[in-house]
């Protein structure tokens, strides 16, 4: 979602120079551009008018931008926004009490975007038709799983599949996709999980829909006889979506970093593991949109550094250099437009040169700029060996949500499995799952299975589920729709209850 937080601070910093420019410029067009760059580029990458159609700017993005500037536009009233959001949003000053631009200045910004935006975005350029996915076969669970799956994960310790539903119910399946246990129900759907020998740690997101309530938590569950027992470890999290682990303060105990995605507000924080089985929170950044974190040594000093994907506004991939004892220094590696819809990344040595590259998926369309975007897709950013990343591969894919690089065919290079939660259903077969078979020299052959519309893929995991020595692909379907979807497809998802499918690798 586009975020224009703290723009009033940018005004204080930039207004002096901007006023000088205005006095010398001619015409509202130049004035509107300077105003737009001042107020829309102070806290994130400036969104060029060419990124969205004129109608989407006018009816979707600009009304919300106006609210961040203390202005009402197209019926979006500031008072109603204040009254319908949690008090902590009001206290954070997300919506300023007083306008930070005049009505005339706002009209200049609107005119700049509407004059320079296209009527429509160009069509996605498809380089090759999708070929059949011949080396995988589709398997479904013996017991129907509702197509409301928020997370699907493989538990390698117990050789089980865990599928969490929006309702808070979790299905546990064996390698043959048969139910193996009584269902566990938590207060809310889980977004991440850590498997232990005799217990499981779940990151429970609280309310799934956009909100700023602190209702998420990190819980530890165990089995006592036939009963599940839950123990809260960290409570009061703001819509948490991911957790990672490291000894951040060098005290010999493993700490936890939680991406608290939030909505208007949120945070990236690490939770110190204290001796008395409690935790202490340390805020890394107090803003929404933290999506995912990794620990990997960036600068070769022997310490693992924190890599973070930020979405929702200032979209970027950053590394927080670990100087020891909890001291993290931020370095931005890649920055994206706030309408890109960053969704997932992972660190992989894609070209086998000994340096970690970045595999990135962007395609979140659940914001105020819903439209088919030719810049949605799968990207590879190659590391030049000095920690500088350059885009070397782009596969256009409407609504791309997640991508995982693995050697599925065991030929020595990394192939890519990718899903899209917001595919283009105007196509005869929506490109909701794509397997990119690595051909070498940066070339990939796109494939898919015969019926990708069997689900709306929100989540994916890769593991040797059937224990035969090759990697399979788990897909989780979530049937609630936000963007236009044919009625017949929606009815099928609800009727068939194929919330989980397995693409079983036939290599072995």
Question: When comparing pLDDT for 434 and 324, which is higher?
Answer: 434
Distance CA 178, CA 165 (A): 17
| Region 157-178 average pLDDT | 94
Q: Is the pLDDT of residue 26 over 90?
A: no
Q: Measuring CA to CA, how many Å separate 57 from each of 208, 330, 338, 399? A: 27, 32, 13, 19
Band the pLDDT of 483: cuts 50, 70, 90.
confident
Question: What span, in angstroms and rounded, lies between the C-alpha atoms of 294 and 290?
Answer: 12
Please tell me the pTM assigned to this model.
Answer: 0.92
What are the backbone dihedrals phi and psi of residue 437, each rounded to the nearest 5 degrees, phi first? -80, 120
Say yes or no to pLDDT of 12 above 50. Answer: no
Decide if 7 contacts 43 (C-beta within 8 A): yes
d(CA 326, CA 92): 26
- pLDDT confidence tier of residue 3, bands split at 50, 70 and 90: very low
Distance (Å, whole) CA 55 – CA 296: 43
What's the token pair of residue 33? Answer: 């551009």
Q: How many CA atoms lie within 13 A of 205 on its CB side?
A: 25
Mean of pLDDT over the chain? 90
Q: Are 284 and 305 in contact (CB under 8 A)?
A: no
Lowest-pLDDT range, 240-244, 255-259, 327-331, 480-484? Answer: 480-484
**Is the model more confident about 391 or about 19?**
391
In contact, 328 and 311? CB cutoff 8 Å: no
Half-sphere exposure of 5 (CA within 13 A, CB side): 21
User: How far is 266 from 122, CA to CA, in rounded Å?
Assistant: 34
Of 120-134, 136-150, 208-222, 475-489, the least confident: 120-134
Whether residue 226 is predicted with pLDDT greater than 50 in this model: the reply is: yes
Q: Is the pLDDT of residue 125 over 90?
A: no
pLDDT at residue number 225? 79
At residue 482, the pLDDT reads 82
Check if the beta carbon of residue 355 is closer than 8 Å to that of residue 340: no
| pLDDT grade for 419, boundaries at 50, 70 and 90 | very high
9-13, 209-213, 479-483, range with greatest mean pLDDT: 209-213
Predicted confidence (pLDDT) at residue 10 exceeds the cutoff of 60: no
- For residues 186 and 124, the model is more confident at 186
335-364 pLDDT per residue, tens: 999 999 999 999 999 999 999 999 999 999
387-411 confidence digits (pLDDT tens): 999 999 999 999 999 999 999 999 9
pLDDT at 182: 67
Instruction: Tell whether the model's pLDDT for residue 130 goes beyond 80.
Output: yes
What does the pLDDT read at residue 82?
A: 74
Q: Are 393 and 405 in contact (CB under 8 A)?
A: no
pLDDT at 263 over 70: yes
CA 230 vs CA 151, 217, 235, 368: distances in Å: 19, 11, 13, 38
Mean pLDDT of 71-95: 82
Q: What is the mean pLDDT of residues 441-448?
A: 95
Contact 218, 91 (CB under 8 A): no
Centre a 10 Å sphere on the Cβ of residue 78 and count the other Cβ atoms it contains. Answer: 19
Least confident of 63-72, 138-147, 178-187, 242-251: 178-187
Take residue 488 and report the two structure tokens written for it: 């017949």
Task: Tell whether the model's pLDDT for residue 27 goes beyond 60.
Answer: no
Q: What is the pLDDT of residue 17?
A: 39
């Amino acid at each position: 979602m586009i975020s224009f937080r703290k723009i009033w601070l940018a005004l204080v910093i930039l207004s002096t120079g901007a006023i000088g420019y205005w006095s010398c410029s001619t015409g509202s067009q130049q004035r509107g551009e300077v105003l737009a760059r001042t107020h829309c580029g102070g806290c994130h990458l400036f969104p060029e008018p060419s990124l969205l159609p004129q109608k989407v700017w006018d009816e979707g993005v600009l009304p919300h931008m106006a609210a961040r500037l203390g202005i009402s536009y197209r019926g979006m009233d500031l008072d109603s926004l204040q009254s319908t959001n949690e008090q902590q949003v009001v206290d954070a000053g997300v919506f300023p009490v007083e306008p930070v631009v005049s009505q005339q200045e706002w009209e200049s910004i609107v005119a700049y975007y509407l004059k320079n935006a296209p009527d429509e975005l160009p069509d996605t350029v498809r380089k090759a038709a999708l070929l059949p996915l011949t080396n995988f076969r589709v398997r479904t669970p013996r017991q129907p799983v509702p197509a409301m799956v928020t997370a699907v994960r493989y538990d390698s310790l117990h050789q089980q599949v865990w599928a969490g539903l929006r309702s808070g119910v979790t299905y546990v399946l064996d390698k043959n996709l048969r139910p193996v246990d009584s269902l566990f129900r938590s207060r809310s759907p889980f977004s991440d999980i850590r498997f232990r020998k005799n217990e499981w740690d779940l990151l429970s997101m609280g309310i799934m829909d956009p909100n700023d309530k602190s209702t998420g938590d990190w819980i530890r569950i165990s089995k006592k006889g036939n009963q599940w027992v839950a123990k809260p470890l960290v409570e009061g999290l703001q819509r948490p979506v991911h957790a990672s682990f490291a000894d951040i303060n060098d005290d010999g105990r493993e700490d936890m970093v939680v991406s608290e995605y939030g909505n208007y507000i949120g945070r990236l924080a690490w939770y110190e593991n204290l001796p008395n089985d409690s935790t202490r929170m340390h805020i890394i950044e107090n803003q929404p949109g933290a999506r995912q974190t990794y620990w990997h040594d960036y600068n070769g000093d022997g310490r693992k550094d924190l890599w973070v994907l930020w979405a929702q506004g200032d979209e970027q991939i950053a590394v927080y250099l670990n100087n020891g004892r909890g001291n993290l220094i931020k370095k931005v590696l890649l920055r994206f437009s706030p309408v890109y819809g960053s969704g997932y990344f992972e660190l992989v040595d894609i070209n086998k040169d000994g340096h970690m590259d970045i595999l990135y998926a962007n395609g979140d369309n659940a914001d105020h700029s819903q439209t088919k975007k030719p810049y949605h897709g799968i990207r590879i950013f190659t590391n030049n060996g000095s920690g500088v990343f350059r885009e070397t591969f782009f596969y256009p894919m409407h609504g791309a949500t997640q991508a995982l690089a693995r050697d599925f065919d065991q030929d020595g290079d990394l192939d890519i499995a990718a899903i899209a939660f917001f595919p283009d259903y105007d196509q005869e077969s929506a490109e909701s799952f794509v397997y990119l078979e690595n051909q070498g020299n940066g070339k990939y052959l796109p494939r898919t299975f015969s019926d990708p519309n069997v689900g709306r893929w929100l989540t994916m995991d890769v593991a040797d589920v059937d224990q035969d020595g090759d990697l399979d692909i788990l897909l989780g379907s979530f049937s609630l729709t936000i963007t236009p979807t044919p009625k017949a497809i929606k009815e099928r998802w609800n009727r068939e209850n194929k919330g989980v499918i397995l693409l079983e690798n036939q290599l072995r």
